[in-house]
Amino acid sequence: MNRLPQLTPRQRRILWLRAQGLSGPQTARKEGIAVGTEHYHEQVIVTRLRARNIVHALHVAHLIGLIGEQPDCGDRAAYLRHLRRRETPCLACKAANARHGVEQRAGRLGRQEAREAVQAPGARPNGSRGQSSSVQPT
């Protein structure tokens, strides 16, 4: 199982800013944090991605689709935002949505929907093709 490394939203933004070509100090300024703090987060990112340094980490992150089109890409809310704007979801958001789907099938989030489906057999309004709140990844 090739599981995506878990990064905090701040770490994802740092990764994104660095991928836009900003230096460490420039990224720190954008995020409103100390240069030392930014550096610490970089070290965490490097460790989580099992990279040798931040440049290597950026490369790895691109390869596995961890860097999205926008700084807060990479979670399901961002995925739904792409859909709302009729954009094609980027890799990072698709991966986040796929993770959500896995969790739902594992029964943690989908139980309520499943029960409703059982309680109302065939009570489907005409013309609606079983509108599901989960969006299938392509």
Point out which residues bind Zn ion (CB under 5 A): 68, 73, 78, 90, 93
Q: How far is the CB of 9 from Zn ion (least distance, A)?
A: 13
Q: Which is nearer to Zn ion, 41 or 82 (CB)?
A: 82
Task: Report the C-alpha dihedral over residues 3, 6, 64, 59, rounded to 10 degrees.
Answer: -140
CB atoms within 10 A of CB 58: 20
Q: Which is nearer to Zn ion, 28 or 97 (CB)?
A: 97
C-alpha 106, offset from chain centre: 19
CA–CA distances in Å: residue 85 to residues 41, 61, 125: 31, 25, 27
Q: Which is nearer to Zn ion, 7 or 28 (CB)?
A: 7
Task: Report the C-alpha dihedral over residues 92, 97, 102, 103, rounded to 10 degrees.
Answer: 110
* Inter-residue contact 90 to 71 (CB < 8 Å): no
Q: How far is the CB of 66 from Zn ion (least distance, A)?
A: 11
Q: Which is nearer to Zn ion, 16 or 28 (CB)?
A: 16
